[in-house]
Amino acid sequence: MSLFDFSDATAVVLGGATGLGRAMAEGLASHGATVCVVSRSEDKAKAAADAIAEQCDGRCWPCAADVASEASIRQLRDTLSARYAGRLNIAINSAGINVRNPIERISVDEWESIQRVNSTGAFLFAREMFPLLKSSGWGRLINITSIFASRSFPGRTSYASSKGAVLQLTRTLAIEWADENITVNAISPGPFLTDMTRPILDNPEAYHRFCENVPMKRFAEPHELITACLFLASPASTFVTGAEIVVDGGWLAT
């Protein structure tokens, strides 16, 4: 269990106020890490951080930042640097948006807005967190991608393309940062019960049809992603970098 003792670790979870991000923030804080929960909404970040801190002896605090804004992510870097004395151990990018449309209905603005958050945002976050991860002596960057980085559906042109880009970003940075004692890995979730999947969850027929792709025949609960996060963030994964852990109930095995 000492491998999963994060008592001396500092962490930031981008998109940590809701869904999978919140589950991972809770998981890290409950194992001793000091965690910054980041959301575009200051109110959401504070509500989530306060709730986690109440459960985990105060080891959680909020920060508002917009992953699509270079200036905002730089400000996040400066805030973290001041709070963590210039050092950061664990950086998790769980921010993302998804708009479902066939390609003939996708405007350039819609396409670019999704790429800006999902892929450009991942790049900005990685670039600005790098000096803090490097200064800490050991670092972990974890990108939350998607099975749509490797598999797709109609109507997912923008989203799948953005997540494929994040997976390649992950692999490239793993090579670049290997000499810095920083590992870079991805977690690719399948269908989870989150706000992002609400359009499917609210349609019983669509939900049943979607579950036909999943050998386990269900959507996962957010807490079922925590162990993958803890493994990649911990000393148990010191020789794992450039990897993709798929948490999808067997979908990609079919």
Active site residues: 159
Helical pair 157-176 and 121-135, crossing angle rounded to 10 deg: 20
- Contact of 167 with 184, CB cutoff 8 Å: no
Are 172 and 185 a contacting pair, CB within 8 Å? Answer: no
Using DSSP's 3-state secondary structure scheme, residue 55 falls into helix
Q: How many CA atoms lie within 13 A of 186 on its CB side?
A: 26
Inter-residue contact 80 to 12 (CB < 8 Å): yes
Residues 6+ apart with CB under 8 A from 193: 201, 219, 220, 221, 222
Concatenated DSSP letters of 104-147: GG--HHHHHHHHIIIIIHHHHHHHHHHHHHHHTSSEEEEEE--G
Residue 162 DSSP symbol: H
